[in-house]
Amino acid sequence: MKEISCKLLIIGAGPGGYVCAIKAGQLGIDTVIVEQGRPGGTCLTIGCIPSKALIHAAETFDKARTLSSGENALGIRVQGASIDLSKTMAWKDAIVGRLTGGVSGLLQKARVKIVHGHAHFRDGKTVEVETETGLQVIRTETVVIATGSDPVELAALPFGGKVISSTEALSLTELPKRLVVVGGGYIGLELGTAFARMGSEVTVVEATSQILPLYDADLVKPVLRRLGERGIKVLTDARAVGLSDTGEALVVETAEGRRELPADRILVAVGRRPRTTGSGLEELDLDRIGSFLQVDDRCHTSMRGVYAIGDVTGEPMLAHRAMAQGEMVAEIVAGRKRAWDKRCIPAICFTDPEIVSAGLLPEEARGHGFDVKIGQFPFTANGRAMTVEDEHGFVRVVARADTHAVLGLQAVGAGVSEFASTFAIAIEMGARLEDIAATIHAHPTRGEALQEAALKALGHALHI
C-alpha cells in the first residue's frame, strides 16, 4: 500500500475538478487530482464536445444532401452525398483525444499530481484509490468533491440492448433507421435533431405539455417549427411505459390511449443525477438537498474542509458553472476572499435553431416583482441573417421598466450560442437599455439584432 499527503485533494477531473486543480497548482498549492477515466469528465469525453462535433457533422451532411437534391437559390450543384458514421465518430474521437490530452498537459504544467483510479473515502481527510498498481492512500487537508453526474435511467426502460443513453448515442457507428427519443429537453433534442439530419426517422416523446419546458413558448416555437419541417414527430403529454412484447417498439401512453412506436434505438434523455454513490460519500454524512450535496456561497459543504462543485451540487448542471466554482474554490483554499455571487449563468440549447438565455425570462422577472419592458427584434429584418439563408428566430431583451436595467437576454436562431458571452457581460456589468442601444454594433452581423431589441424596448427601433 502506497501513501501520499497533500494540501488539496480533488475527486474528479471533469471541467470543475481540472480547472480547480490547475488554478490551485498555479497558486502554489500542493494538489492531487483523482480520476478513474480520462481527464475532462463527461463534458469533454461523452457530453458537450462530442455532441457538438456530431451536430456539426450532421449539419454539414444535411447541407450537402440539400444541395445535391436539385436547384437552389444559390445556384450551387453537387452530386450525391453520403455519410460514413464510423468515420464521423472517429473524427469526433480524435477531437476528444486532443482536448483530453491538452487537459493532462495543463495539469502537469501546473505541477498537479494525477492519480488514475476509483476513489473511496475513509473519512473527510483520507481517500483510498484503487489503481492498476495497487491501493493508494491519500491524506489531505482539504477535499473538493467534483464527481459529476450520470444519465437518469428509467425503471421501465433500463439501459441495455436497443435502449441507450446519450453516452452510447455518441458512439454509434451505424445510423438507426428509426430513433425514438424519450425526453424533450436539450440533450434529447440536440441528439435527435442531429440523427434526423443524417437520415434517421426520429420521434420525440415528452411527458410535459411542451418540449424544452424550462423555456417560454416564444423561444420554443422556432425550434418546434423546424422539427416539423425536418419530419421529426413530437408527442407531448406522453409517458414512456416500456418496450412492447416483441421488444421492437416503445409503448407510450397518451390522452388518446396507448400506442406503439417502432424503434431500432430508444434514446432515454430525461435528465442527469449526481454521482454520489460508490465512493464512500455516505460515510461523510454531508447535508443534502434531495440527492445533491448542499453547499454555501463558497461551495463549502456541511463538513469542515470539504467542498463540492459542479453537477453534484445541483442545477444548473453546466460545465461553465462547474469551472467557475472550481476556480473560486482554488482561490479560497489559497486564502483569498471569494464568494459565489453570479447574476447570471448563460444556458444554451444547440438545437436547430439554437437557443441562448442569460438572466431572467419575462415571466421569471415578473415573478420577482418587477414591472418590465421587453424588446424583441426578428432575424427576418436582419441583413446578415438573410445573406446566410437562415432568418429563423429573434433577439429579446427584458429590462426593468423603472431603471431600464437589463434583467435578461434571450435569442433563438442560427449561431446565437455565440451571443452567450455578450449577454452575460451585459447583465454582470449592470447594463441598461440605453447602454446597449448606444453601443455601436458592427454591420452586417446578427449582433445588430441585440441593439435593435434594446431600441425597440425604448420605443424607437430603427429597422422594424
Distance CA 374, CA 184 (A): 27
Contact 150, 269 (CB under 8 A): no
Strands, E assignment, 74-133: 113-116, 118-123, 126-131
Per-residue three-class SS string for 216-273: CHHHHHHHHHHHHHCCCEEECCCEEEEECCCCCEEEEEECCEEEEEECCEEEECCCEE
Q: Identify whether 368 is a catalytic site residue.
A: no
Contact 21, 109 (CB under 8 A): no
Contact 433, 404 (CB under 8 A): yes
Q: Which residue has the cell 454509434?
A: 172
Which of the residues 116, 404, 443, 460 is marked catalytic?
443
Q: Which residue has the cell 458571452?
A: 421
Angle (nearest 5°) at CA 450 between 448 and 454: 120
Which distant-in-sequence residues (6+ apart) come within 8 Å of 309 by Cβ? 16, 17, 20, 144, 145, 146, 295, 299, 322, 325, 326, 329
Distance CA 351, CA 187 (A): 9
| Bridging pattern class, strands 257-262 and 163-164 | unpaired
Cell readout for 87 is 468515420
Residue type, 438: A
Q: Is 141 helix (H, G, I), strand (E, B) or coil?
A: strand
* Residue 123, number of CB atoms within 10 A of its CB: 12
Q: Give the end-to-end CA distance of the chain in Å, rounded to a whole number.
A: 72
Which distant-in-sequence residues (6+ apart) come within 8 Å of 175 by Cβ? 83, 85, 195, 198, 199, 200
Q: Would you please indicate which residues are annotated as catalytic (active-site) residues? A: 443
